[in-house]
């Protein structure tokens, strides 16, 4: 069971992923653990390079190996460890039971194959449909995601679709086999604000209708506010705070989360505050952090931060990796 009482569908434990590069070993993911409940939407937030995408690509064995190495961890999906499946075994999971949408649909879709062929591929591969059955299902899926004149669209190519429509095609492809988990990797970044809102509403509608679980990867805390039930905040390959979404917004506990929220415009606040940035730059991660990785940028840093903190319980289903209690203005009694 997850912290909010939902039965767990995916449980990741102590995931470690590294990349061996000419400059040295990059410690991209450093012991990440989380759970996803049935029918739940989990937001994973953090700035570029914090390990959000690498974590989810590792779970599905999609990182290039070499240079990538999954050095440790388990990813239990219905009790089966995804990280130790053979290539044939993980292929039966990817697309059929766990689907993923990527940031740029133009680089995810094959430019020389028509949309009908691309969306029907998982139906033929995983469900054993023939071409006629698959085409009929593709038309249903395109209608489901809001693409007009779906029958005529089957023979069209990705360049004949707008950015928003291409992302809808990616959703149709991801939903083709009725997956239990949908992983969306910053899918709205390349879209304008109006199309972003339509896309998010579509995912919420499909999530509620189909009952699937969603992992939404983003750097935008504003997006997860109206979409997720729980949020994991990542920094330098670690989860530094995790909480229900309302708790995170009303009671942020990690200095990095505070920095993210203080840089976000708020329309629900009666007081006016100047937006602030987070000083400094993210670490390069060519060495595994011994100290708290946020220490060089943190205004609350003190001597104890030379030791990297674990995640502490700071509330109901709320944990943070920080030695300093920002609410009380003192060191934690741990």
Tell me what pLDDT residue 269 has. Answer: 58
CA distance 236 to 119: 36
- Please say if the pLDDT value at position 174 is more than 70: yes
Higher pLDDT, 312 or 220: 312
Q: Over pLDDT 70: what percentage of the chain?
A: 94
Contact indicator for 17, 54 with CB cutoff of 8 Å: yes
SS3 letters for the chain? CCCCCCCEEEEEEEEEEEEEECCEEEEEEEEEEEEEECCCEEEEECCCCCCHHHHHHHHCCCCCCCCEEEEEEEEEECCEEHHHCCHHHHHHHECCCEEEECCCHHHHCCCCCCHHHHHHHHHHHHHCCCHHHHHHHHHHHHHHCCCCCHHHHCCCCHHHCCHHHHHHHHHHHHHCCCCCEEEEECCCCCCCHHHHHHHHHHHHHHHHHHCCEEEEEECCHHHHHCCCCEEEEEECCEEEEEEEHHHHHHCCCCHHHHHHHHCCCCCCCCCCCCCCCCCCCCCCCCCCCCCCCCHHHCCCCCHHHHCCCCCEEEECCEEECCCEECCCCEECCC
pLDDT at 33: 96
pLDDT tens digits, one per residue of 203-253: 888 788 888 899 999 888 878 888 899 999 999 999 999 999 999 999 999
- What band does 2 get if pLDDT is binned at 50, 70 and 90? low
Q: What's residue 288's pLDDT?
A: 86
pLDDT band per the 50, 70, 90 thresholds, residue 289: confident
Q: Is the pLDDT of residue 271 over 70?
A: no
On the question of pLDDT at 198 being above 90, the answer is no
> Using 50, 70 and 90 to split pLDDT, how confident is the model at 11?
very high
The model's confidence at residue 5, banded by pLDDT at 50, 70 and 90, is: low
pTM (two decimals): 0.89
pLDDT class of 122 with cuts at 50, 70, 90 = confident
Q: Which of 94-108, 166-180, 240-254 has maximum average pLDDT? A: 240-254
């Amino acid at each position: 069971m997850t912290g909010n009482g939902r039965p767990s569908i995916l449980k990741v434990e102590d995931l470690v992923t590294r990349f061996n590069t000419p400059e040295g070993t990059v410690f991209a993911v450093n012991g990440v653990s989380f759970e996803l409940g049935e029918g739940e939407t989990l937001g994973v937030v953090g700035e570029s390079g914090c390990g959000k995408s690498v974590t989810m690509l590792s779970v599905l064995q999609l990182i290039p190996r070499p240079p990538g190495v999954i050095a440790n961890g388990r990813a239990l999906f219905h009790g089966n460890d995804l990280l130790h499946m053979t290539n044939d075994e993980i292929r039966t999971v990817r697309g059929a039971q766990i689907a993923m949408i990527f940031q740029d649909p133009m680089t995810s879709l094959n430019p020389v194959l028509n949309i009908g062929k691309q969306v029907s591929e998982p139906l033929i591969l995983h469900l054993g449909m023939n071409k006629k059955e698959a085409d009929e299902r593709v038309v249903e899926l395109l209608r489901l995601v809001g693409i007009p004149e779906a029958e005529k669209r089957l023979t069209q190519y990705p360049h004949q679709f707008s950015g928003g429509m291409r992302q809808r095609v990616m959703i149709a492809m991801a939903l083709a086999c009725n997956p239990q988990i949908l992983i969306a990797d910053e899918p709205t970044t390349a879209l304008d604000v109006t199309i972003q809102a339509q896309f998010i509403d579509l995912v919420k509608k499909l999530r509620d209708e189909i009952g699937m679980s969603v992992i939404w990867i983003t750097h935008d805390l504003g997006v997860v506010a109206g979409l997720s039930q729980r949020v994991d905040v990542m920094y330098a390959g670690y989860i530094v705070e995790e909480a229900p979404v309302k708790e995170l917004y009303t009671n942020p506990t990690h200095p990095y989360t505070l920095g993210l929220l203080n840089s976000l415009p708020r329309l629900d606040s009666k007081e006016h505050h100047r937006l602030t940035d987070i000083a400094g730059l993210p670490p390069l991660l060519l060495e595994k952090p011994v100290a708290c990785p946020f220490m060089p940028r943190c205004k609350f840093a003190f001597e104890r931060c030379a030791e990297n903190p674990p995640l502490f319980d700071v509330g109901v289903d709320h944990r943070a990796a920080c030695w300093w209690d920002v609410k009380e203005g003192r060191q934690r009694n741990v």
